[in-house]
Structure 1
């Protein structure tokens, strides 16, 4: 059975990954990407528009399914070689997390709901993924 994941990155970084068909997490570390399997569902949560910015967004910004293959290094220049994983991204809208906080199993009843996102990649329930996908106006990617 496929799993569902939330990855965390600024919206500007997510836009690049969507355009080029990949994802990166945790400043390019390979380990977290190795937890993903082909067919797993992934949604990006973007706390900000720009990396390190104060431009709060707090929205889900991309939704897709992990492709077959392993994480691979990609030389971005300047000595930065992060690991990536290929993803089939869906055409979806952006959705604020704020109206979903009380409904998501991950955040319901939690005052410090954002703490879990600090880890950069976290597994969520299929029900939470379906709720997020609906908010993004996408047909939910059905788990196996």
Structure 2
């Protein structure tokens, strides 16, 4: 049975991965990516727009499913060799987390709603994943409705 995961990265980094069809977590570590299996859903949460920035975003920024491939390592110009996993990203709108907080079960673990986000990758219930997916799709529909009404 497919599982669901929250991955954490800046929106800027998520957008790079979406465009190229991959995900990368925990500063390029392999072990978290090995927990994900083909078909698992991955939802990115971005606390900020830019890595290390103070610009709060606090939104879900991507959703997709892991492909039938194992994590692989890439060599970057700087000599950095991060591990990645291929993902089929879906069309979705960036969606703020705050309107969903009261309904998400994962936020009830730990002293505050952001506690688990510090780990960079953690499993969530399929119910939470469905709720987030619906919100990300509804954002797109709501944006279209607002545009038509304007």
Shared fold (TM-score, shorter chain, > 0.5): yes
1:128 CA displacement: 0.2
Q: Which runs of 4+ in 1 moved over 6 A?
A: none
Paired residues, number: 138
Alignment gaps of 5+ in structure 1: 139-144
1:113-137 Cα distance to aligned partner (Å, 9 max, x none)? 1010000000000000000001101
Does structure 1 conserve the Cα–Cα contact (< 8 Å) formed by 2:110 and 2:116?
no
Does the aligned pair in 2 maintain the 1:28–1:82 contact within 8 Å?
Answer: yes
1:20 CA drift (Å):
0.2
TM-score, structure 2 length as denominator? 0.89
Match of residue 7 from structure 2: 7
RMSD: 1.3
CA distance in 2 between partners of 1:109 and 1:122 (Å): 12
Question: Which residue of 2 is the match for residue 19 of structure 1?
Answer: 19
Alpha-carbon displacement from aligned partner over 1:95-117 (angstroms, at most 9, x marks no partner): 10000111000114876110100
SS at match of 2:114: helix
Alignment of 1:1-144 (within 5 A): 1-108=1-108, 112-137=112-137
Q: Which has more radius of gyration? A: 2
Contact 2:30 2:71 in 1 (8 A): yes
Change (3 A) 1:31 1:134: same
Which segment drifts farther, 100-109 or 26-35? 100-109
- Provide the rounded CA distance (Å) in 1 between the counterparts of 2:109 and 2:101: 8
* Greater fraction helix: 2
Q: Is the 8 A contact 2:9 2:25 kept in 1?
A: yes
2: CA distance, partners of 1:76 / 1:99? 38
